[in-house]
Amino acid sequence: MQDDLFGTGEGKASRPSAAPASPAAPSTPTRAPAGAAPGVQPAAWPPELYALAAQLPPTLRLGTSTWSYPGWAGLVWDGVYSEQQLAHKGLAAYARHPLLRTVGIDRGFYRPLSVSDFARYAAQVPEDFRFVVKAPSLVTDALVRSEGGRGREANPGFLDGLLATNHFVAPALEGLGARTGALVFQLSPLPWALIDRLPEVLERLRALLATQPPLRPAAPDGVLAVEVRDAAWLAPEHLEHFADVLKSTGATYCLGLHARMPPLAEQLPLLRRLWPGPLVARWNLNPVHGARGYDEAEHAYAPYDRIHDPAPEQHALLARTLAGVCGHGQNAFVTISNHAEGCAPLTAQRLAQAVVDRLASDPGAADAGA
């Protein structure tokens, strides 16, 4: 069963000559009229979207990396709103989308969020909605960086367990409560000196994870997850050590679908070592743009209203894995960036359809979770 869940290879990414038509393309949106009801209003979604959502396992939560994109008019919003309007008032409308049952909160990476910040988010979403929250760089970046991102000096707070508790885990738990999904420690690229001492870094990571407060009973679905941005963490000489650190502390690995990391198929062996357990994935950047391709993707994809660079192989393998994990009763949290294919809500729809198709072709996967 584990080999079936986490096996198979994946072809090298390449840019297709033309993108297929996007699913459920919206009609031309209208600008929200002045004097309209306060707040952002959701789009009118077709019955087919609700039908698709009803076929997904209840333990699967798909979503986007954030929500404040005016280009999603007609897909998520009923009209055109400013980015500022969406950032402050769009979450409640986003959370009414039939497929989007999670969302990433990344802004705390730059400055830790307070209990009241998290509570304000939690108050805007239904009870079964779960958040995927990124830990502050205060504890996840080995370097103190300039505004341009260049490392200036060693960060004394790197992997400090007490800082992680006080500035991330405890406030998130108190503010989000049962709406806590995955609390993700996304470790920034390490300097070479630390990559050469990765076993020491792994033990520091173990100490950080072990000192965090228990997520239950406040957050029954909550899980600590670790995402990395160096392939060395998954190298044969470190893989078993990494798996032991995660398993011994009750944490899991966050699949990082990013050009800095090996393909999805090469990350799945770590999940095999952690099975059974939840799955967390963040689909960050299409590899056609390279490891530093965010600016290129932004230029190519804005305003993020359609699929530009479809990744069918990624959908197929991720859908297979999600169908198996959720079919065996485990939670899965997947957040998708606009930089994955060009439009995160449409990527979520394509992935949802792939999961449903996979479950239809293998009914035993769904039965196993009963």
84-121 confidence digits (pLDDT tens): 999 999 999 999 999 999 999 999 999 999 999 999 99
Q: Which structure tokens are listed for 306?
A: 């359609």
pLDDT along the chain (370 residues), means of 10: 49 38 44 51 97 98 97 97 96 98 95 97 98 98 80 91 98 98 97 97 98 96 98 98 98 95 96 97 91 87 97 96 96 97 98 97 55
| Same structural domain, 216 and 249 | yes
In a domain, 2, yes or no: no
> Which of 237, 253, 269 lies at the terminal end of a domain, its last residue?
253
For 17-58, the pLDDT digits (tens) are 334 434 444 444 444 433 333 689 999 999 999 999 999 999
SS3 37: coil
| Same structural domain, 225 and 335 | no
**pLDDT for 304:** 97
CA distance 43 to 29: 9
| Same structural domain, 171 and 74 | no
| Same structural domain, 119 and 228 | yes
Mean pLDDT of the chain: 89
Residue with the two structure tokens 């939840």: 278
Name the β-bridge partners of 183. 133, 224
In a domain, 125, yes or no: yes
**pLDDT for 141:** 97
Q: Are 318 and 279 in contact (CB under 8 A)?
A: no
| Same structural domain, 215 and 165 | yes
Tell whether omega for the bond before 26 is within 30 degrees of 0, i.e. cis. no
Which residues of 27-82 form beta strands (DSSP E)?
30-31, 60-64, 79-80
In a domain, 210, yes or no: yes
In a domain, 169, yes or no: yes
In a domain, 268, yes or no: no
| Same structural domain, 131 and 231 | yes
| Same structural domain, 294 and 361 | yes
In a domain, 273, yes or no: no
**pLDDT for 280:** 98
CA 116-80-65 angle, to 5 degrees, is 45
**pLDDT for 26:** 46
Residue count (the chain):
370
| Same structural domain, 110 and 249 | yes
In a domain, 270, yes or no: no
Name the β-bridge partners of 184. 134, 225
CA distance 363 to 343: 30
Q: Which structure tokens are listed for 149?
A: 């991102």
Q: Are 228 and 246 in contact (CB under 8 A)?
A: no
| Same structural domain, 218 and 289 | no
Q: Domain count of the chain?
A: 2
Q: Which structure tokens are listed for 280?
A: 């967390």
Domain that holds residue 120: 106-253
227 vs 8, 67, 246, 253, CA distance in Å?
Answer: 22, 21, 11, 6
| Same structural domain, 237 and 116 | yes
**pLDDT for 4:** 55
Q: In angstroms, how far apart are the furthest CA atoms of the chain?
A: 62
